[in-house]
Amino acid sequence: MDSEDRKRVEIWTDGGCKPNPGAGGWAAVLRFGDTERELSGGERETTNNRMELTAAAEALEVLKRPCRVRLHTDSEYLRNGITRWHSGWVRRNWRNAKGDPVANFALWQRVLAAAQPHEIEWLWVRGHAGDVMNERVDVLATRARESLNVPGTLARRG
C-alpha cells in the first residue's frame, strides 16, 4: 500500500504507577479526522514503563489497516526504545548493552509487532507541561489506575 493511501492517525499515549512499582494505569486517545476514540486500562502490579508500553501497544493494535501515525508520548523510555535501542537489542538477541536481558521483553515485542504495518512518527512531548492532549491521557491513565480500588493508590484530593 502506497504511503499516500494510508489513513493519517494522531495518537497520544500515557501510562503510570503510584507507587512505582504498584498499581498502574495506561491510556490512549486516537484521532482520525473529526473522530476520536479513548482507550484505557490498568493493572494491580506493574511499573510506569510497562504502562507506557502497554498504552502504545493497545493504541496501535486497534488500527484495522496500515496507517500513517503520529504517536505522541511523554515517555523517553518508549520513544528511545523504539527509535534508537531496539535494533541493538535484536542484534544482541534481546540483550542490552551490558549483556543483560532487556527489561519488558514481551511488551517490546508486542509494541514492535503492533507498529510493523504502520508508518509511525514517534514524537516526544514533555509531560505535565501544558500539552492539552498529554494532560488528557494522563487524566485517563490516572482514572484507570484509581478505578482498580487498590488500597493506598487513590490520589489525594483537596
Distance CA 130, CA 21 (A): 26
Residue 34 designated active-site: no
Residue 138 designated active-site: yes
Q: Which residue out of 16, 25, 74, 86 is catalytically annotated?
A: 74
Q: Which residue out of 4, 100, 128, 158 is catalytically annotated?
A: 128
Cis peptide before 101, with omega less than 30 degrees from 0? no
Q: Which residue out of 24, 52, 72, 86 is catalytically annotated?
A: 52
Residue 158 designated active-site: no
Residue 128 designated active-site: yes
Q: Which residue out of 10, 43, 58, 138 is catalytically annotated?
A: 138
Residue 74 designated active-site: yes
Q: Which residue out of 15, 16, 41, 81 is catalytically annotated?
A: 15
Rounded alpha-carbon distances, angstroms, from residue 62 to 27, 101, 134 = 13, 29, 19
Distance CA 14, CA 1 (A): 30
* Active site (catalytic) residues: 14-15, 52, 74, 128, 138
